[in-house]
Amino acid sequence: SKLAFVLAIRPVTCLARGWRRFVMAPLRSALLPACFALAGALDNGVARLPYMGYNTWYDFMCNNINASNVMKLADTLVDLGLDKLGYTYLNLDDCWAVSRDKSTNVVKEDPKAFPDGMKALADYVHGKGLLFGIYTDRGTATCAGRPGSQGFEDVDAKTYAAWGVDLVKEDSCNAEDTPEAASEQYGKMRDALNKTGRPMVFNLCGWHPWYAQKGAGLSNSWRINYDGSNWNAVVVNALTNAAMGGYASPGAWNDPDFLLGSSPGAAVYLTETQSRMQFSLWSVMAAPLIIGSNLLHMSIFDLATYTNMEVIAVDQDPLGTQGAVVWGNCPSLQLPRASKSSAASFDVPNCQQIWAKPLADGGHAVAFINLATGSANVTCDDGCFAKMGYVGGKRPANVRDLWMHSDLSAAGTTISRTLDASGGFALLRFLGGSGPAKVGSGADLARKIVV
């Protein structure tokens, strides 16, 4: 059946971004419980811009998940200077928990892998100037069969707060896969996290486009499709997200999954071209930038990708608007629904798109992408420019290539780019020359998504 979307109402943020700098500690402690007690909404003052960092899953999966490696990851984030660019969340995914205490129900970390406990690990991460994220599941067990949070939301939230956790990713395995059940269960964790008084990013990992409808009331970000574990799945997640822009706003973001690098040492990786296209498009989509590549042995190419400050600036633009498709010839998307693995086997269409994201300075970030198996010439014409507000013959006064780091000649009647096959791309920044931004939210595309 076709999805019917109703725009979620986003509550006014109780404590605005940057509040910690302006509210004295005693007053802050008094305000937090009142702010977080708001019913039916996650209004925690964090993730006002898409959050950035690293997650262990596509790098390690369940192999060698231990405190020693997590500390090495923290050291590496700092040694590579990634923390200075905004990659501050170090997120431990599945395979850390083994049981629950029989008397208190407190979740227990693997004692061999984490001999000093999780709080000591969080303290080490914090000592590096980073933030610490952890993983759970709304079901009876995690996707790897470890203890889930179903029925233990309050005790788990209190435990995470006591450990000093800054982000909670909650998966959706071993749980009823309906909007009603998912909303109820995620709502329990949202409320439990709010009650702790500790601001924690809540990353909802539910695998379906219908999470976007209620996402802003439940979490700081929500997965809009299955795992982006190969090129096919990266593409289907991007095409799905084209319809979801109307649901994203500061503090609440569509999540098309982690960034896959090109380093073959990771459990999952792309080609160099595909990984850089993904990073460019994710920035235009105002998506969380969570590296899933081989961090401990990151290639020079991947490091250059993730440290491109001009592209990061697009993602972190303070306007906080998700980009939308302003030109394209891709067919209506038939979403795979059978299983998590079906997204990975999705047939990538032979098509091209142009995405545009309005920016706070009045300009636009514009991504040209080619999904076809052959090279293609892609042109932004009058209709394309009009959707960005360039009407009546107006064109950008300046055009900059964000990968060549060079200013180009002023835009003519059209702008064309020849793109390589299977992920060829260009990322430009338009400055000046337009009227009010006309880039749509993608709500019109939502009706074309069939599940």
Spatial CA neighbour of 130 closest among 70, 219, 203: 70
Q: What is the pLDDT of residues 305-346, one digit of tens each?
A: 999 999 999 999 999 999 999 999 999 877 655 455 557 778
CA distances, 153 to each of 167, 184, 194, 205 (Å): 15, 12, 11, 16
Report how far residue 170's alpha carbon sits from residue 136's, in angstroms, rounded to the nearest whole number. 5
3-class SS at 156? helix
What confidence score (pLDDT) does residue 122 get? 98
Contact between residue 282 and residue 289 where contact means Cβ atoms under 8 Å apart? yes
End-to-end Cα spacing for the chain: 6
- Cα angle at 19 between 316 and 217, to 5 degrees? 70
Tokens read off for 80: 């590579």
CA distance 65 to 309: 31
CB 283 within 8 A of CB 315: yes
Residues forming the active site = 171, 227
282: phi then psi, degrees, rounded to nearest 5 = -60, -35
Q: Is 309 left (phi over 0), alpha (psi -120 to 50) or beta?
A: alpha
**pLDDT reported for residue 448:** 38
> Contact 326/356 with Cβ under 8 angstroms?
yes
Secondary structure tally for the chain: helices H, strands E: 13, 18
Q: Are strands 424-431 and 364-370 parallel, antiparallel or unpaired?
A: antiparallel
Residue ranges in the chain whose pLDDT is less than 70: 1-41, 335-342, 434-451
pTM equals 0.88
The sign of the dihedral angle between the CA atoms of 424, 427, 433, 439 is positive
pLDDT, one tens digit per residue, over 421-432 is: 999 999 999 998
Which H helix or E strand runs over 82? Answer: none
CA neighbor of 214 nearest in space, from 37, 13, 9: 9
**Alpha carbons 368 and 353: distance in angstroms, whole number:** 6
Q: Which pLDDT value is given to residue 434?
A: 60
Residue 149 token pair: 């949070």
Residue whose entry in the numeric block shows the structure tokens 């964790």: 189
Alpha-carbon gap, residue 258 to 205, rounded angstroms = 11
What letters, b where the CB count within 10 A reaches 16 and e where it falls short, cover 254-283?
bbbbbbbbbbeebebbbebbbbbbbbbbbb
Structure token pair of residue 203: 């990353």
* Cβ neighbours, 10 Å, residue 340: 16
Is 315 strand, coil or helix?
helix
User: Residue for token digits 């969570």?
Assistant: 290
Three-state secondary structure call for residue 433: coil
Q: Which tokens is 293 given?
A: 């590549």
Alpha helices per DSSP H over 140-291: 153-163, 179-196, 211-218, 231-241, 272-284
Give, in order, the Cα–Cα distances in Å from 416 to each of 166, 324, 325: 44, 18, 16
DSSP 3-state of 134: strand
Residue with tokens 């491109």: 308
Report the pLDDT value the prediction gives residue 336, as an integer from 0 to 100.
Answer: 54
